[in-house]
Amino acid sequence: MVMAESAAALGNPGYGWPRPPAPTTSEPIIILTFSHSGAEILTEALARSSLLVCTARTGVLPLCEAVASTWQRVERRQNLSALAIASIRSLVTSMAIARTLESGALRWCETATSGAGSAATFLKIFPKTKFICFHRRADEVIEEAIANNPWGFGKTEFWPYSSAEPGNSLLDRRRSRQSGVTGSLALRGK
């Protein structure tokens, strides 16, 4: 029995190492990225932690932006009211709590491919959010995107960038990446 317990302890990723300190906040962590970035590897690594529950591409950032926009129209004001912020925060927090209770984790982490506008809105709702902007070398992203879409970018996230140079997939992907990087840099300054 002792040998089985020792073997089980060896399988524990923290075996022999002190347990990392518990986070001092329960605010979310958002990995802001774009398609073909390889962020799945980072998400998988973070998900191995018992302190985090990780989700990917749930749509929670665009949801916050849409609900915030609805509140702005309902209240006929540009800035979000305290009531609007509290209601959106409650919506997202209840979703996060459902996942953290299920897993026993202390903190929620979302990998999102949303634009900087959605991220900026989310930051208004959760001002202590930690953002990780995850990028990959442009040549690798372009190569993978073209390999995965050999007949063009119709019905993909790259489609909005194709109108200036129809049929030029390389340029479409470059413009898409440029837009994502520019948005991430703008968010970084906030």
Instruction: State the pLDDT at residue 123.
Output: 94
Lowest mean pLDDT among 5-9, 37-41, 109-113: 5-9
CATH of the domain spanning 26-188? 3.40.50.300
| pTM greater than the 0.75 cutoff | no
User: What mean pLDDT is predicted for residues 158-184?
Assistant: 57
Confidence of residue 130 (pLDDT cuts 50, 70, 90): very high
Instruction: Output the six-digit token pair for 102.
Output: 């299920």
Instruction: State the pLDDT at residue 82.
Output: 96
Instruction: State the pLDDT at residue 49.
Output: 85
With 70 as the cut, is the pLDDT of residue 21 above it? Answer: no
Instruction: State the pLDDT at residue 26.
Output: 75
Residue type, 153: F
Query: pLDDT, tens digit, for every residue of 27-70?
Result: 899 988 877 677 878 888 888 888 889 998 899 999 999 999 99
User: What mean pLDDT is predicted for residues 107-120?
Assistant: 87
Mean residue pLDDT across the chain: 76
Query: pLDDT, tens digit, for every residue of 164-173?
Result: 555 555 555 5
Please choose, from the candidates 37, 46, 15, the residue with its C-alpha nearest in 3D space to the C-alpha of residue 173: 37
User: What mean pLDDT is predicted for residues 75-83?
Assistant: 96
Instruction: State the pLDDT at residue 138.
Output: 74
Instruction: State the pLDDT at residue 142.
Output: 73
With 90 as the cut, is the pLDDT of residue 102 above it? Answer: no
| CA 149 to chain centroid | 23
Query: pLDDT, tens digit, for every residue of 148-157?
Result: 776 666 666 6
Instruction: State the pLDDT at residue 30.
Output: 92
With 80 as the cut, is the pLDDT of residue 189 above it? Answer: no
**Residue ranges of the domains in the chain?**
26-188
